[in-house]
A and B are shown apart, each in its own frame.
Chain A
Amino acid sequence: MTSPSDELKNARSELVSLFSAGEVSETFQENYTEIIDHYFRRSVQESEAGQKLFRDKKPFAMVAVGGYGRRDLCVHSDIDVLILFDSKVPFSAKRLAEDIFYPLWNLGLDLGHGIRCIKDCLTLASENLEALTSLIDARFICGESPLYLSLTERLGKRVLPKKGLTFSRWLEEQNQMRMAVFGDASYLLEPNLKEGIGGLRDYHHLLWLTKAFFHLRVPKDLEYSGVLSHKEYEDLESHLKFIHLVRNHLHQGSARKNDRLTFDYQERIAQSLAFQDLDGLLAVEQFLGQLHVSMASIKSLHRSFLFTHFPGSRRNGSDLVQPESLRAPFHSDQGEIHFPSATAILSDPLLLLDIFAEAAKAGLPLSLESKRLVREFLYLVDEPFRTSKRAARGFLSILNAPNAFDVLDQMLETGFLCFFIPELEPVKDRVQFDHYHLFPVGRHLLQTVRHLKTLHQQRDILLADIFLDLHDPEPLFLAALFHDIGKTGKDHAAKGALLIRNILKRFGYDRKKMEDVYFLVHHHLVLAETATRRDLNDEKIVVQCAGRVGTIERLKMLYLLSWADGRATGPRAWNDWIANLVLELFFKILHILEKGELATPDASRRVRQSMQQVRKQIGDLLSPAEGEAIFEVMPPNYLLETSPRAIARHVTLFRRLREAGSKGLESAFCLEAEAAPASGTYDVTFLAKDRAGLFSDVAGVMALNNINILSARIYTWRDGTAVDIFTVTPPLDPIRTEEIWERIKEDLAETFRGKIPLSERLQQKAKPTILFRKNTLTRQTHVTVDNESSDFFTLIEVFTDDRIGLLYQITHALFTLGIDIRIAKIATKADQVADVFYVLDLDGQKVLEEEKVQRIRDVLLQELSKS
């Protein structure tokens, strides 16, 4: 006959292989417990030392404690067992322990053991609450049963009544500790099955408390005694079964007592549990979704149970609320909200929503009974319910309340939220199997709301300031709650935006605000994506972004949403590093919107229209792809400030120039002059490959030929083409204009080849003669260098008297300073000139060094005081 330990070893490995084959998935713990019980019965019987103790009238009982006492043994659970004596532990008990325990250690099982008399057990239990919990679960295996009965009786009569309050408080502390260490398993992506909130420990707490205070013996008593309803008990049982099953797989897969379901095990377990990829949802995502549902349900049951039966565990402060502040027909009892009756709900189903609105208003939670009623009457939430004005009003009042998160949490937990907004159902439990998303979608949406509601607790005062500035944060809250509602497939932001429109239409929601929500949902990724993937020093990128955002109010909401969304996703989605980039983008867009010229809806519309007209005019000239490529290199202010006709003209010149460039004519340029009879001026267009000093050369040649530049707009396209548009005085000789323009072209070509010393020639020309008297009305010359107004350029502004060659003087001085002019706005009013240059240094950077800024100022002032 095999020894008890061999028998145990064989039975255990047989059971485990049956489990691996999927045979005993639901009864594993029972079966395993039975195998261990059998071992103890046999080994006690066959132990020489054991039999001697009985013969010597020193009887003992084998008692299973802890999880083994509850018959909850998973594959690698500890086996906790107690050898119980009456009043004194005899010396020979040591031999007994050797007989019984050593073989278990040899098998490599994790054994927790004690050899104690009843009195020691009781002392230990009253000193150490953990020991108390393991004794609460005590179960008789074999030996002298009266000893066991006496232990449990004295535990119930002498220890528990004294320890009651301390015990429930201790459990409360344990819960807080578990939350801090293991987190809320009902939504974490690597949950701890046992110690996490919503884990098996929640169920253990519930059992201990009922055993200690309601004198229940076995779990089934939870239902018989009315602590739980039939349905609740049934649900509890099936959820526990599932979690135990997962835990067994996890123990087996990791070959040790491991309760943290890390990513590396999830796919394998999902496979073992026969989950399959479905509708774009991975098997592992569905598996985790179901696990979360189970854990959330246990968490909720545990919480309600504590709340109902142990009011001491309630959060502080809730008893400050006056019961009479509740609106009829609801009433409060022990700080919880109750329905007047079940029949009241039947006659007015909207009470189902009203109670949550009341909870939001009063800051009180629903009672366990109320939640039970909500669940039971969910079928009353039908289309008329969803489209009723009262429901919409109530729902919005919840969303706007400071404690919206707590209330939404209860709405989600009871299933009401998904009945009221059915669009949430398909995404609620959706889990993304990656290291990026920490929560399933439903939870994530609620967390996003929570972050916005707790903005004032943030260290970052800017966020709070922006929030306080919002005219109306409601669209933001709506967008926060629904931004991922389209997460049933690709392009979830666009999909979600359409869904949210339907939902809000059902609410009869304000049209204008609806568009805000639509916008926020549709673009909730724009800031983070642009900030991390695009060049924030590229003005066009920021302007396009600003154009999409449109208004400052929307920008603020979008920024707060990006922040809350990122925070609610997980540490990889949001950290200081990303926050920094998004903040930079926020300010750049803000500045553009504040200046208002480039990014207003009107501006973007005008740019779109003008691009369309240009396409029409040059359509047959280029392929659509080539056309788009050219639009792509045009800076936003150019597109906005230039007429379609002129743009079309520039495109033609641009292509001509490119051809010349491809033939190696690097210094090629195009110049066209056209009379503007209405104003008696000429419009001159000049295109060339940009280089430092180009503008000053052009200005110099014009001055040399007695052409006065009245205004100039110079642009640098993103491919390095300079496009300058001048309004100039007509050539002095109106009959020979063509000839003069030709000469200017020749002079330009000569200058570019370095053949004309412009400075000298101009100085000569500007010398006062009898014909040109020096202007005596000299006003003070001002030069300012401004790094604040633009995020992309340094602005140099010059105010001075007009004179021949002035523009050349200024721009040439800038050239010698190593300054590259990217945009210039030249304006002459009477004799006074106000020129603004948008410049960068030769490395393409803003001019930030104080010394260099000072030098620019000095050199310009000196240069301009010369004549």
Chain B
Amino acid sequence: MKKVEAIIKPFKLDDVKESLSTLGVKGLTVTEVKGFGRQRGHREVYRGAEYQVDFVSKIKIEVVMEDELVSDAVRVIQEKAKTGQIGDGKIFIIPVDNAIRIRTGETGKDAI
């Protein structure tokens, strides 16, 4: 089981979400996040005064899935989230030990 975590541009959320569910991903978590990567924060000057813009607003998607799905999921996220421009984001793949559905107590594959 893996957790696929993707930081993407906000306006790409719908595309990514849609293609993931077509793949058979059963649920995902979406968070509005702020941060910076190569894009860095930057300074804006307005009438001589400087305003530091430290972070860039992004969307974080988290999906836990079976190993077989991971390569397809990564492929569609990359396909859909890509604009070729700066700040398209990143995808992380993280091993997951186990999952438990709180309501039923099911574990592992059944719980995702």
Q: Which residues of A contact B (CB under 8 A)?
A: 461-462, 465-466, 469, 532-535, 537-538, 575-578, 580-581, 583-584, 587, 840, 843-846, 848-849
Contact = CB atoms under 8 A, between A and B. Distances in A.
Interface in B24-82: 32-34, 38-40, 44, 46-47, 49, 51, 53, 55-57
Given A577-B57, A580-B53, A848-B38, A538 B46 contact: no
Given A537-B86, A577-B33, 18 more contacts: A465-B47, A465-B49, A469-B47, A532-B10, A533-B10, A534-B11, A535-B9, A535-B11, A535-B83, A535-B85, A578-B57, A580-B53, A580-B55, A580-B56, A584-B56, A844-B83, A845-B38, A845-B85
Interface string B70-112: 0000000000000111110000000000000000000000000
Contacts of B55: 580
B57 to A, nearest CB: 4
Contact of B57 (A461, A535, A580, A848): A580
A732 B89 CA distance: 51
Contacts of B53: 580, 583-584, 587
Nearest to B44: A587
A844 B85 contact: yes
Interface of B: 9-11, 32-34, 38-40, 44, 46-47, 49, 51, 53, 55-57, 83-87
Contacts of B49: 461-462, 465
Contacts of B87: 537, 845
18 contacts: A461-B49, A462-B49, A465-B47, A469-B47, A532-B10, A533-B11, A535-B83, A538-B85, A577-B57, A580-B34, A583-B53, A584-B53, A840-B86, A844-B83, A845-B85, A848-B38, A848-B39, A848-B40
B36 to A, nearest CB: 11
A581 B57 contact: yes
Nearest to B48: A465
B57 A846 contact: no
B83 A537 contact: yes
Q: Is the interface of A mostly helix, strand, loop or mixed?
A: helix
B83 to A, nearest CB: 5
A23 B70 CA distance: 61
Contacts of A843: 86
Contact of B46 (A466, A578, A580): A466
B86 A844 contact: yes
* 3 nearest CB pairs, A to B: A845-B86, A537-B85, A577-B32
Contacts of B9: 535
- Best-surrounded residue of B40, B51, B55 (most CB of chain A within 10 A): B51
B85 A577 contact: no
Nearest to A846: B86
A544 to B, nearest CB: 15
A578 B11 CA distance: 12
A577 B84 contact: no
A576 B46 CA distance: 20
A155 B63 CA distance: 67
A539 B39 CA distance: 16
A537 B44 CA distance: 16
A532 B39 CA distance: 18
B10 A581 contact: yes
A583 B57 CA distance: 11
A578 B57 CA distance: 7
- Best-surrounded residue of A462, A533, A581 (most CB of chain B within 10 A): A581
A848 B40 CA distance: 9
A848 B38 CA distance: 8
Nearest to A461: B49
B55 to A, nearest CB: 7
B44 to A, nearest CB: 5
Nearest to A535: B83
Contacts of B86: 537, 840, 843-846
A704 B57 CA distance: 49
B46 A465 contact: yes
Nearest to A533: B11
Contacts of A533: 10-11
Contacts of A844: 83-86
A797 B53 CA distance: 27
Contacts of A846: 86
B25 to A, nearest CB: 23
Contacts of B84: 844
A535 B9 CA distance: 8
Contacts of B85: 535, 537-538, 844-845
A537 B57 CA distance: 13
Nearest to A584: B53
Nearest to A532: B10
B3 to A, nearest CB: 22
A462 B49 CA distance: 9
A581 B55 CA distance: 10
Contacts of A578: 57
A1 B74 CA distance: 77
Nearest to B55: A580
Contact of B51 (A462, A469, A534, A535): A462
A576 B58 CA distance: 12
A446 to B, nearest CB: 28
A386 B84 CA distance: 56
Nearest to B83: A535
B79 to A, nearest CB: 16
A843 B85 CA distance: 7
